C-alpha cells in the first residue's frame, strides 16, 4: 500500500516530537537560546539575546552564537547598553568584527548604538521590560519593531528567543506568525507544501501562514516548532524530500 502523504500538521508533530526527545539531528544544541549563559542573572541573559539576535542575518548562526558566547565569557560587560554607548564607533566596530563577525559591520555599529540608546531611554536598559509591559504578544511585537533592524524576521526571532528562554506566556501567541528564513522556505518547498522556493515576499508570507496554521492544527506551540525547524534546515541541510523524511524518522 502506498504511504499517505505527510500533511503539514503531521510534519509539525513529528519534528517537534524529535526535537523534544533530542533525537538525531535534534540532539544538537545550536539554537541561540542554547548559547545564553546559564550562570548569570536574568538581566544579563536578556541583554545577551537582545544584542546577539539583532545581528542574526546574512551570517552563519553558529559562528555568531559561538563568537558572542566567547566574548561574553571574556567581557560580560560588553553586552550592556552603558558599555556600548561609551565606546566610540571605531572601537565598537573592531570588537564586532573580531568576535561576532557581522556581514555588515557598519550597520551593526549603527544598530548597537541606536538600539542601546532606545533600550536605555524606554526600558531602563532592561529587555525584559519590553515583554512585561503588556500581556499581549501583538503589543510586545509592536514595541520590538521600534528597534532598528528588528522587523518581522529578526524581531520575531527575538520574540521567540525571549519567550522560549524565559518561558513567557501569552494568550494570543497563536496570532503571531513565526520568523521565516531560507531554511524554512526550502523545507516547505521540498515537502511540496508550497510551490515556490525563492525568498520572495509572497513565498515568505505563504510559509509563515503555513507553519502558523499547521502548529495550531497540531496543537503545538510554534515557539518550540520554530526551534526544531531551524535545526532541521540549518544543521540537517536536506536537499530532497527523502533527506527530510530520513532526518525526522
Res. 4 pLDDT band, cuts 50 70 90: low
- Cα 2 to Cα 5, 246: the distances in Å are 9, 17
pLDDT at 3: 54
Count CB neighbours of 41 within 10 A: 9
pLDDT band at 59 (very low <50, low <70, confident <90, very high): confident
CA distances from 97 to 49, 101, 210, 233 (A): 18, 5, 37, 26
CA 203/CA 39 separation, integer angstroms: 41
Over residues 96-111, mean pLDDT: 96
Torsion of CA 228, 229, 230, 235, to 10 degrees: 80
Residue recorded with cell 494568550: 171
The answer to whether the beta carbons of residues 90 and 113 sit under 8 Å apart is no
Measured between alpha carbons, how far is 89 from 69 in angstroms, rounded to an integer? Answer: 22
Q: What does the pLDDT look like over 11-53, one tens digit per residue?
A: 999 999 999 999 998 998 889 999 999 999 999 999 999 999 9
Residue spans per domain, the chain: 8-29+177-248, 32-173
Mean pLDDT value across residues 218-242: 94
Determine the average pLDDT of the residues in 228-244. 94
Percent share of the chain, pLDDT over 90: 88
Q: How many residues does the chain have?
A: 249
CA distance 223 to 32: 13
Residues 79-104, mean pLDDT to the nearest whole number? 97
CATH (one of 1.10.340.30, 1.10.3720.10, 3.40.50.720, 1.10.10.10) for 32-173: 1.10.340.30
Q: Are 48 and 127 in contact (CB under 8 A)?
A: no
With H, G, I as helix, E, B as strand and everything else as coil, classify residue 193.
Answer: coil
Supply the pLDDT for residue 67: 97
Task: Let me know if the fold of 8-29+177-248 is the same as that of 32-173.
Answer: no
pLDDT of residue 29: 80
Q: Is the pLDDT of residue 2 over 90?
A: no
Number of C-beta neighbours around residue 106 at 10 A: 11
CATH of 8-29+177-248 among 3.30.70, 1.20.120, 1.10.1670, 1.10.12 = 1.10.1670
Query: In which band, very low, low, confident or very high, does the pLDDT at 1 lie, cut at 50, 70 and 90?
Result: very low
Amino acid at each position: 500500500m502506498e504511504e499517505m502523504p505527510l500533511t503539514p500538521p503531521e510534519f509539525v508533530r513529528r519534528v517537534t516530537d524529535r526535537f523534544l526527545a533530542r533525537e538525531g539531528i535534534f540532539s544538537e544544541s545550536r539554537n541561540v537560546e542554547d548559547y545564553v549563559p546559564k550562570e548569570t542573572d536574568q538581566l544579563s541573559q536578556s541583554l545577551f539575546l537582545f544584542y546577539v539576535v539583532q545581528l542574526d542575518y546574512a551570517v552563519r548562526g553558529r559562528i555568531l552564537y559561538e563568537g558572542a558566547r566567547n566574548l561574553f565569557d571574556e567581557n560580560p560587560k560588553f553586552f550592556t547598553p552603558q558599555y556600548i554607548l561609551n565606546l566610540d564607533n571605531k572601537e565598537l566596530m573592531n570588537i564586532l568584527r573580531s568576535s561576532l563577525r557581522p556581514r555588515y559591520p557598519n550597520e551593526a555599529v549603527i544598530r548597537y548604538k541606536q538600539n542601546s540608546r532606545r533600550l536605555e531611554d524606554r526600558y531602563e536598559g532592561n529587555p525584559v521590560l519590553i515583554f512585561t509591559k503588556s500581556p499581549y504578544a501583538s503589543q510586545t511585537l509592536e514595541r520590538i519593531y521600534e528597534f532598528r533592524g528588528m522587523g518581522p524576521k529578526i524581531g520575531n526571532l527575538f520574540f521567540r528567543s525571549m519567550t522560549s528562554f524565559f518561558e513567557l506566556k501569552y494568550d494570543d501567541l497563536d496570532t503571531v506568525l513565526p520568523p521565516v528564513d531560507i531554511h524554512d522556505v526550502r523545507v516547505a518547498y521540498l515537502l511540496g507544501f508550497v510551490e515556490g522556493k525563492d525568498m520572495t515576499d509572497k513565498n515568505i508570507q505563504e510559509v509563515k501562514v503555513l507553519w502558523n496554521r499547521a502548529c495550531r492544527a497540531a496543537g503545538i506551540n510554534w515557539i518550540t516548532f520554530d526551534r526544531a525547524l531551524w535545526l532541521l534546515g540549518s544543521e540537517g541541510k536536506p536537499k530532497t524530500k527523502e533527506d527530510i523524511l530520513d532526518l525526522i524518522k
